[in-house]
A = this chain, B = another copy of it.
Amino acid sequence: MATKQKEPGKVERIASEIRDKIERGALAPGSRLPGVPQLQKEHGVAYQTARDIYGLLEDEGLVFSRRGKGTYVSLVIGKIVSDRTQRYLPTLREAGGAVGAFEAEMRSMGFENKDPVVTIAKDVPPKKVAEIYEMHHRAKTLKRERIMRVGLPDNDEALEVVQVATSWFPPDVVDACPVLAENNTGTGGSKSRMAEAGFRQVRLREEIEVRSPTPEEADALGIPAERAVLEITHKGLTAEGRVVEICLHVLPRSKWRLAYEWVIDTPGTG
């Protein structure tokens, strides 16, 4: 009754060879990997097997494939740490708030933070958002979408999307705070402008889950539609308990590490 020593299959075995090379740095981020037919010949396996090898590594975030072009080593190999309870502190907010925090997160990984692709428009929010805002079924409200990308410092070609963040604001808040529709919301970001307009956020709530992406999200992130993503639902609440901002962060599930830190009241003992 020794421990079960089930040996791995070809896919896992060959994948782990490549995985080791990537993690050791023998294969540089952004570099091209052998094509599937080539990989097939190198290891004497069937086409599907070679594809599965790359599929597994892709799933782990070490590799990405582009039809018609080839398969490449990912730019982001390790995990990006996001300190969720730190990034909204007032001192940081004066320096740009969550947006500045994102840049710091990227720089700490040695990446250049490419300008995000920003879309500001009135749009129909997702059902869950509309319900919280008590909006009509197909009513529109302000949406701020930011596609966050990183690249290598010396290479303008290689880009990787690491986050799609979509903020939604209730209609009356938008009316009272028109700067939200501006590209630049000034010092301290949108939360500071909202506070000045009487919608001060005193409590934040974030809910995290792993789910399948919408086709649009998969497209924006450059991942296959069947690959699950990490979703953070960020809500900002006023002292009255009203939700005045909802931001959906969609992340490649393998590239992030989210940290939360809080104090607990302790019982009388000790």
Interface residues of A (CB under 8 A from B): 12, 48, 56, 59-60, 79, 81, 84-85, 88-90, 93-94, 188, 192, 195-196, 198, 200-212, 225-226, 228, 230, 253-254, 256-267, 269-270
- Set of chain B residues within 8 Å of A264, measured between Cβ atoms: 88-90, 201-204
- Set of chain B residues within 8 Å of A270, measured between Cβ atoms: 195-196, 198, 200
Task: Tell me how many chains of this kind the complex includes.
Answer: 2
Known: A59-B226, A205-B259, A226-B12. A210 touches B253 (CB 8 A): yes
CB proximity of A208 to chain B, nearest CB, Å: 5
Is there an interface contact between B60 and A267, defined as CB atoms closer than 8 Å?
Answer: no
Known: A207-B257, A257-B208. A93 touches B196 (CB 8 A): no
Complex CA gap A256/B210 in Å reads: 8
Complex CA gap A270/B238 in Å reads: 12
Is there an interface contact between B210 and A260, defined as CB atoms closer than 8 Å?
Answer: no
